[in-house]
Amino acid sequence: MKESILLIACGMIQDEMRLAMKNTGINYDTIWMNADLHNNPDILNLELQQEIDDHQEYDMILLGYGNCGKALIGLRSKQSKLALLRYEDCIQILLHNNEQLKSIRGETYFITKGWMMGKKSLKEEYHYAINKYGPKRAEMIMGIMFKNYKSLMMIDSGAYDLGDWLHCARHLSQVLKLEFIITPGDVELLEMFLSLEWDHRVVVIEPGVAISKDDFGVECTVASGSNMFKM
C-alpha cells in the first residue's frame, strides 16, 4: 500500500521547494510554516510539534528544514515517521555544493528572496532604523551591527527572477559597506528529499523517538557555532 505523506516546510524556502516539486513532478499535501518563526527557535519548535501532533493520520511527515537554530531538536511523532535532511540550515541546503561554504560562513551574510521578504529581514530592519533614527544614524547603526562581516552573498537558486531583487540587495551591501556577491545554489537536495530516493543525507525518525542533535551529524554540530542566518 502506498504511503500517505505530508510535507511541512519553511516558507523561507517556498520558492526553492516549489521549483523542486516542479522539477520532480512530485507534490505532497503541504503545510507552509511562517518564515518569521526563525526569529525564535523555541516558538518554531512548539509550532512544528503542534503540526506534527495534528497530522498523525499520515504515514510519513517530511520536515523541509535544516536544524535551523536547533529548532527541530526534541520533536517527536506518536504514530507517523519523520524524515529530515541532515543539514544545519537552509544556507547549507542550497549551497551544499559550495566547497568554500564552511570557510566563509563567519564573514558572510546570506540572502535570498525568501530571506528578504520576512518582517524581520535585513531590508525591513534597515527601513525601521531609517524611520526611527534617520538615514545617517541608521547607516551608522547598521555598520556597527555588521562590522564583522565582509560580504553580502545573494544565493541564486534558480527558483525566481533574480533581477527583481538585485537593486535592493546591492543597495543594502553599499549601506553596510560589504562586498556584494552572487553565488549559484541549487535545489538538488530538495529534489532528492521529495523523491524518497534517500541516502545518508536523510534521516528517518521512528514513531515515539525524539529528534536529537546527533541526527544532524558532526558537520552540523560544528556549523551551529558559526554564521547562522539572522533575520
List per-residue pLDDT tens for the chain, 231 residues long. Answer: 457 999 999 999 999 999 999 999 999 999 999 998 988 999 999 999 999 999 999 999 999 999 988 999 999 999 999 999 999 999 999 999 999 999 999 999 999 998 888 777 888 888 888 999 998 898 888 888 899 999 999 999 999 999 888 998 998 899 889 999 999 999 999 999 999 999 999 999 999 999 999 998 645 433 333 333 332
pLDDT score at 116: 84
pLDDT score at 221: 39
Phi and psi at residue 166, to the nearest 5°: -65, -40
Contact 157, 17 (CB under 8 A): no
pLDDT score at 218: 46
Provide the whole-model pTM: 0.88
pLDDT score at 2: 55
